[in-house]
A and B are shown apart, each in its own frame.
Chain A
Amino acid sequence: MQDRPDAAELAQAVREFIETEVLPGIDDPRLRFRTLVAANGLGILEREIALGAPLVRREVGSLARLLGHADPLPDDPGELRRRAVDLNRELAQRIRAGDTPEGALAHLVATVADKLRIASPRYLERYR
């Protein structure tokens, strides 16, 4: 096991360094923008470490219900992720074939909202 800082704490340390020590010294607007993007990328990483695992589980559970699969969800995170990839492909193929399952829109609204909780939580607030 690694010593602290853990992964989220390390990402946070780098983001805070960029925000407080690097950004104030940058005048070039293009470089400034890319630096803000980089800090934002670390923020996404921090949130994914904190929230990601239960959200993937929730997505796979919802996909399985939507597509009528009864088999139990895998415990291994890597396997769970592969299941998410497979089930999303199955859903996409059914929609493409004109066989959209009942409840697909509600499932997708909830799932994309979960993606935004990690990728862009402030954007999600704009819909409140």
Chain B
Amino acid sequence: MSVGAPPLSASTLSVELRERLVPIFGADIAIEQLALLEDEHRLLEVAAAAGVRVPMPCGYLGEIVGRPAFVSERVSGETIGRRIVQRPELADARAVLPAQMAEELAKIHAIPAERVPFLGGVGAHDVLGRLTNEVDHLEDAHPAIELGLAWARGRAPERNETVVLHGDLRVGNLAVTATGLGHVLDWEFGHRGDPAEDVAWPLVRAWRFGVDQLRLGGIGDVEPYLERYNALTGRHITLASLDYWEIVGNLKWAIGALTQSRRHLSGQQRSVELAVLGRLAAEMEFELLHLLERAA
């Protein structure tokens, strides 16, 4: 946006448009792995064209008051994980969500990679390399995480198929209505990689929001979800592969929580939420060790 142009903000949109559109702002600070907002907007356009249920992107705006921004369709629905797994009025939605999540993942994983060439392509070894690098940037040592990384390195699948991944598809990043999945949100962690990485991510215990016995996001069993995904894609992802990527998922979120707390501690972004997250990483470490014990 050129200097001196009038700032485009929600207030310059007509009242009618303001009800239907919402501005999406990028982070004002770079987080490793976070796709540039312009790329995120492009990924949303490509995903929409592929029939994925996304809030329709309506144009990348460039920089607005120091932060990148784009305009998106405003969508409704419940996004708070704890409510989605608990509220009685969402029981019907919970019954159909597992199959719908499989369907959206199948569509996302069919997006032609050449349409989003800016997405980095990574297999298990690359994911683990990036995580190791992040751990090395924390000052103190985390032996539980090291044990998980060592386990995962020793069993990393060879890179076979690399597809476009959402990177963060789970309960909490979906707009859920009374009838089921409305829209898939939060595309900032889109990347390329092993499809099982995406399929296993919503199994991670932190995303079950307290309903631990339902391994798929506190809403359902894994088997029907996986069967639906495999039937739609013709892939043969196994439960063993999901077990592997669930452990990697716990590693990702444990390290992510520690890394985020460092943003508070370094003064990059002072926040009580980020501060406390540093202590909650122990939850993911405990789950990681629990899964390692079971895998042994």
List residues of chain A with CB under 8 Å of any chain B CB. Answer: 33-34, 37-38, 40-41, 44, 85, 88-89, 91-93, 95-96, 98, 100, 104-105, 108-109, 111-113, 115-116, 118-120, 123-124, 126-127
Contact = CB atoms under 8 A, between A and B. Distances in A.
A104 B147 contact: yes
Interface residues of B, number: 26
Contacts, number: 84
A105 B293 contact: yes
B150 interface: yes
B272 interface: yes
Nearest to B275: A41
Interface of B: 140-144, 146-147, 149-150, 210, 212, 272-273, 275-276, 279-280, 282-283, 285-286, 289-290, 292-293, 296
Nearest to A118: B279
Nearest to B208: A126
B272 A34 contact: yes
Contacts of B275: 41
Contacts of B141: 85, 88-89, 91-93
A109 to B, nearest CB: 5
Given A34-B272, A41-B276, A100 B150 contact: yes
Nearest to A29: B80
Given A95-B147, A98-B150, A100-B150, A85 B140 contact: yes
A112 B272 contact: no
Contacts of B296: 105
A44 B279 CA distance: 9
Given A37-B272, A112-B282, A113-B286, 20 more contacts: A34-B273, A40-B276, A41-B276, A44-B279, A85-B140, A85-B141, A91-B146, A92-B141, A92-B142, A95-B143, A108-B143, A109-B290, A112-B144, A112-B286, A112-B289, A119-B279, A120-B279, A120-B283, A123-B283, A127-B290
B140 A100 contact: no
Nearest to B286: A112
15 contacts: A37-B273, A41-B276, A88-B141, A89-B141, A91-B141, A92-B141, A104-B143, A105-B292, A105-B296, A111-B144, A112-B144, A112-B282, A112-B285, A112-B286, A116-B286
A92 B146 contact: yes
Contacts of A111: 144
B272 A119 contact: no
Contacts of A98: 150
